[in-house]
A and B are shown apart, each in its own frame.
Chain A
């Protein structure tokens, strides 16, 4: 294969990935509106296209046409780069997600670690957006983002460690293959509970949507953004919801392993992911928001000790099984 062909293949792959991500985001936005609408005793979008399916497309077109406003007092470069960083971080994590045994863009030995590490980069963009906007609401939102990220990244990583100990591998495909007989949610239920709570905080969703708390901070870190720059934040948010649900599926819900009926692996994977996404949306439309200090309390005083306890218990059980103690 010549160099040209290689480059062409890469471009096509990138375009396919980008297309998939965009479509996913569009579906999720439409789904959110419908799910939330029906939960809130209303209909959701209904006008554009049958049952409003084209509403998100219309909104995206509208955003394309919007003026790109950069505040005069803003830190121009920080302001410009911030949405790109947030979006890139979400985009990059996509490449590590195995949709089926043979559908994965990048398969490395430590893909779980990589996925978590790269997705954390997004917070950098949030801080930059908050700082670069030169707006007090945005600054408070950005700072809250950092505080939240520090409090919840640790329990999130620790909650998956139990699974890693049981599997003996950081590779996401290995983790899924190990769950042929039993999903990790059964032995690692505590880990799964911690994971869900920490994941909601990581993707800034209710009840942890403090960085963009509308009633206090107008729109938090993205107050000053408009048009496509704002759309990138918005897209990244929904991509993150998908990624975290996909991760939950892989680590705890057995990935593409099916049960009862036989479907293609990727279908199982998608179904499980969308169940988790539905759960996120359900929580989203039900709960009020935590206060910043209460959020820290939950993160450091409840989730972290529980995650450590989970690791200790897992270790103990593994040692007992192998008969290395007693």
Chain B
């Protein structure tokens, strides 16, 4: 018996649209995936849904009034942007920042690094199909946000750092609350590990997917935990210490294989390192001024400056051109997520849709800084 196969019988590639309002696009990101069955053969990201023209708006703002704008870039780690902007201007104007202000900055930025990594942990859990880690992580994030509110007056859009220091000194009782958090956080991290890290299903899902080799990662310009997950030990806090990071003792966690699981582990380890930095900083918090004496209207000398810091997602840079007036002539922001997302395509091709979501999540982007 022969089976007749019609010539019309064929399979087609399917194009499927993810986003801009898909549950796991972390904001309003859109990509069109071409699928062969459930295997991704091509992927095309589309960005710009959150574009607000912040770089252009910054030109019309005085240096001091630009902070609320930069808060809205990476809206869950606003202080990292404020810090980088301050450092850039301080470099240009050669301002000496008081020790106390430097320490306060480090403490708050590292707190925010923990809170962003907590969001990463939470969303990774969600994308893998586990709902519980999300709520556990947000419980701790809430404690951190409360601390930030105590210090800065706001939970998210902080507007706290100032050129030459910080807006005001740390409030009374902050140190006590911070120490309380520091003492209970390690046990919470263990809880996270129990919930997700060692879970057999989670390991099966995360291991060996989205492998990003160190060469490709460097060529694309990937930075931050995503780069370190690929085994490159590059952290600007160590490589080009700023704001007194050279005074603290901490390690750079890095992955070996460069898969999604390594990137996950790097972020979880980084939280532990953040705790080390914070406890050293709060122990050695010096007295003195919280702000250097700077003119009321900031008018940096004509010239240009590029300052880069280790943001929570990678190399975060401000390139500022000053023409000597009170407004910047040009502000260019190097957003880590914008570069990191370029690594999506080489990582996902050949994987299935569920992996695509996990790999995409493991880059840990935030749309505010991609679209700017």
Contact = CB atoms under 8 A, between A and B. Distances in A.
B129 A215 contact: yes
Nearest to B15: A136
Contact of B22 (A218, A290, A292, A293): A218
A286 B205 CA distance: 15
Nearest to B128: A288
A292 B352 contact: yes
Given A40-B135, A140-B38, A291-B205, A213 B352 contact: no
Interface string A277-311: 00000000111111111100000000000000000
A209 interface: yes
Interface in B190-225: 195-196, 199, 201-202, 204-205
Given A39-B132, A40-B132, A215-B126, A289 B201 contact: yes
Name the prevailing secondary structure of the B interface residues.
helix
B344 to A, nearest CB: 16
A171 interface: no
Interface stretch (B231-239, B285-293, B353-361): B353-361
Interface residues of B, number: 31
B135 A41 contact: yes
Name the prevailing secondary structure of the A interface residues.
loop
A206 interface: yes
A290 B126 CA distance: 13
A42 interface: yes
A40 B131 contact: yes
A19 B72 CA distance: 53
Contacts of B182: none
Given A39-B132, A40-B131, A291 B14 contact: no
A215 B358 CA distance: 9
A207 interface: yes
Contacts of B22: 218
Contact of A40 (B23, B136, B196, B357): B136
Contacts of B50: none
Contacts of A291: 204-205, 352, 354-355
Nearest to B353: A216
B273 interface: no
A136 B12 CA distance: 13
B127 interface: yes
B204 A41 contact: no
Contact of B23 (A41, A140, A218, A290): A218
B247 interface: no
A207 B128 CA distance: 10
A136 to B, nearest CB: 5
A contact residues, range: 20 to 34
B131 A285 contact: yes
A291 B206 CA distance: 10
B72 to A, nearest CB: 26
B130 interface: yes
A214 B195 CA distance: 20
B357 A215 contact: yes
Nearest to B14: A136
Contacts of B195: 286
A207 B196 CA distance: 13
A290 B130 CA distance: 10
B201 A207 contact: yes
Contacts of B128: 215, 288-289
Contacts of B23: 214-215, 218
B52 interface: no
Given A207-B201, A288-B130, A289-B354, 16 more contacts: A41-B139, A42-B135, A140-B38, A206-B130, A215-B23, A215-B24, A215-B129, A216-B353, A286-B132, A286-B195, A287-B201, A288-B125, A289-B129, A290-B201, A291-B204, A294-B201
Interface of B: 14, 16-17, 22-24, 38, 125-132, 135-136, 139, 195-196, 199, 201-202, 204-205, 352-357
11 contacts: A136-B14, A140-B16, A206-B130, A207-B129, A216-B353, A217-B353, A287-B129, A288-B125, A289-B130, A289-B354, A292-B352
